[in-house]
Structure 1
Amino acid sequence: MAEADTAREQAHRLLELWSALALRHVALGGACACGAGGVSLRLEDFELDIADYLQDGGERHEDADVAGWFKARAGQPPGSQPLRDLLDGVLSGAVPTAAADWVLPRLERTLRSFAELHGGL
């Protein structure tokens, strides 16, 4: 039970972090969205890319339980908020422990990297 609580605590922290990061903007092309020129995207625009990265890695994982869970969800269309859905699944216990233990550290590294690169929190 302690491992599940730890995964849920981590999922909750990551959900809060993602919620804070998702609305931030990333300036591309040398200008900020606050000024003229350049292109700006919200970090939320990268959500599907992050979810795809995790999905691909999970499907190729050597642990059959992890790979099996990710492969089983591969045919499902992603929701409008795939990272929130994944973290909600961990919080509700719908994501098996092996898959949660694999995905949460990777998602944490990714989100922390975004936070460091784009103004921190």
Structure 2
Amino acid sequence: MNAPPQDPRLKAVSLAGRWQRLVQSHLPLRGGPCACLLGVGNIAVADFEQDLMDFLHARYNGGGKMDRHFVRAGRNQDAAGSLAGLLQSIAQDPQPDADADRLLEGLESSLRSLESSH
């Protein structure tokens, strides 16, 4: 049997917590690099967050369907925005739609991949 679909607002809150744990676990010990995927080369967490935001925007904002959430997250011509802000916007949406759910599914897949490297 399949579990009933999770409310996108609750999923957004859960993913925000997972992202925060990943960011915190990436902090290098003793000034050395983290051994995870984010520690390869000179990729900082902030850079990875911006890459992830760019990916989510390109993949899940076709036709501007998610513009309101990306704008609330601080995305504009000069900045990719904040993943925490994006998730907060979705979590506070009175009626999140299927587009938000697809974005969250894609983000969950990305976070699962990162978690497996820690």
**What TM-score do you get using the length of structure 1 for normalisation?**
0.65
Amino acid at match of 2:47: D
Contact 1:33–1:40 (Cα < 8 Å) also in 2: no
- Please, which runs of 5 or more residues in structure 2 have no aligned partner? 35-39
Higher relative contact order, chain-length normalized (CA < 8 Å, sep 6+): 2
Q: Percent same amino acid at aligned positions?
A: 26
Give the superposition deviation at 1:25.
4.8
Q: Is the 8 A contact 1:25 1:42 kept in 2?
A: no
Number of equivalent positions: 101
**Mapped partners of 1:112, 1:76: distance in 2:** 27
- RMSD, matched Cα: 3.2
| Aligned residues of 1:18 and 1:111 also touching (Cα < 8 A) | yes
Contact preservation (8 Å) 1:89, 1:95 = no
**CA 1:49 to 1:79, structure 2 compared with 1: closer, same or farther past 3 Å?**
closer
Give TM-score, length-normalised by structure 2.
0.66
Q: Name the counterpart of 2:109.
A: 109
Residue segments in structure 1 that go unaligned for 5+ positions in a row:
27-31, 61-66
